[in-house]
């Protein structure tokens, strides 16, 4: 439901909702909030300082017979019958509601994986299953290759990486700060997230939910590689999640006592 609604909203607001990697989208949100916050702050402080100067003691408005400057204990008059108050509330409501709707539409884009429609990614998405354990991360690729708790996830640059996050024991939270991605790891439940690394390098990942005594040691490294280099590495990986039968187990199966390394 959220994904369908998000795509519909994006179709209507394609010119307003920022697109790109998660880093670019969140940077745009930060820039918009910083700009509007600065504008509102300048207007409010400027208006306050102007009135403080305008009605300063000993100023031109303090002359005898000036009705604009109230005396001590007197209720101010001449406020335009609430017009200024109504105007300020109306402008504030327009700005706040518009900002909420824009941010909501932007976050829908972030939450719903664009998949093949991702404009900043090349090729098909790479799917990685992220499993939280006490106290390490396991990464399982589509071909069944598992990192076996080595704490290293390898991904290609300029391709969307779709994360399927879950937990094998308690609640965890997987996050890559450099890619602005976080997802809950819940036992028996899968949380989807995505990111696109536009530069090669190493990014730090960690657990962002207290999960036990060694929570602080639950870190990992995300290695963003050139696409060709990643394909070469991935081609040399195999399914290592299925236990290899021992010689005894193979003998019981009627196939002799040959073991497989």
Q: What is the mean pLDDT of each run of 10 residues along the chain (261 residues)?
A: 44 59 84 88 90 72 55 65 79 87 82 65 86 94 89 92 94 93 94 91 94 92 95 90 52 41 34
How high is the pLDDT of residue 134? 92
Phi and psi (nearest 5°) for 124?
-75, 150
Torsional class of 145: left (φ above 0), alpha (ψ -120 to 50), beta (otherwise)? beta
Per-residue tokens: 237: 């990986």
Please provide residue 211's backbone torsions phi and psi, each rounded to the nearest 5 degrees. -125, 5
Contact (CB, 8 A) for 205 and 163: no
CA atoms in the 13 A half-sphere facing the CB of 27 = 9
**Cα–Cα separations (whole angstroms), residue 229 to 124, 125, 155:** 16, 16, 10
Write down the pLDDT at residue 84: 76
Interior CA angle at 222 toward 220 and 224, to 5°?
Answer: 170
Identify the structural domains of the chain with CATH numbers, from first to last.
Answer: 2-65+79-112 (no CATH), 126-235 (2.60.40.420)
Q: What is the pTM of this model?
A: 0.68
C-alpha to C-alpha distance for 29 and 88, rounded to whole angstroms? 24
pLDDT at 115: 61
- Tokens 């963003």 locate to 224
pLDDT score at 240: 78
**Residue 15, pLDDT score:** 58
């Amino acid at each position: 439901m959220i994904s369908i609604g998000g795509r519909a909203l994006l179709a209507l607001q394609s010119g307003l909702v920022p697109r790109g990697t998660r880093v670019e989208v969140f940077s745009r949100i930060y820039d918009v909030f910083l700009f509007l916050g600065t504008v509102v702050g300048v207007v409010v402080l400027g208006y306050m300082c102007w009135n403080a100067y305008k009605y300063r003691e000993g100023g031109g408005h303090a002359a005898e017979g000036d009705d604009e400057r109230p005396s001590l204990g007197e209720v101010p008059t001449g406020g335009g019958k609430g017009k200024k108050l109504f105007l300020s509330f109306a402008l504030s409501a327009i700005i706040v509601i518009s900002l909420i709707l824009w941010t909501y539409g932007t976050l829908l884009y972030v939450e719903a994986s664009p998949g093949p429609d991702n404009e900043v990614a090349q090729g098909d998405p790479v799917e990685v299953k992220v499993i939280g354990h006490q106290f390490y991360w396991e990464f399982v690729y589509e071909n069944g290759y598992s990192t076996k708790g080595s704490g290293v996830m390898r991904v290609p640059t300029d391709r969307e990486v779709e994360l399927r996050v879950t937990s094998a024991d308690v609640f965890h939270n997987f996050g890559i700060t450099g890619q602005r991605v976080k997802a809950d790891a819940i036992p028996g439940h899968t949380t989807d997230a995505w990111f696109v690394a536009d530069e090669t390098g190493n990014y730090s990942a960690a657990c962002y939910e207290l999960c036990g005594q060694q929570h602080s040691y639950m870190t990992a490294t995300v290695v963003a590689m050139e696409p060709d280099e990643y394909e070469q590495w991935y081609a040399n990986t195999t399914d290592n999640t299925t236990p290899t039968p021992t010689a005894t187990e193979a003998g019981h199966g009627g196939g002799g006592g040959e073991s497989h390394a």
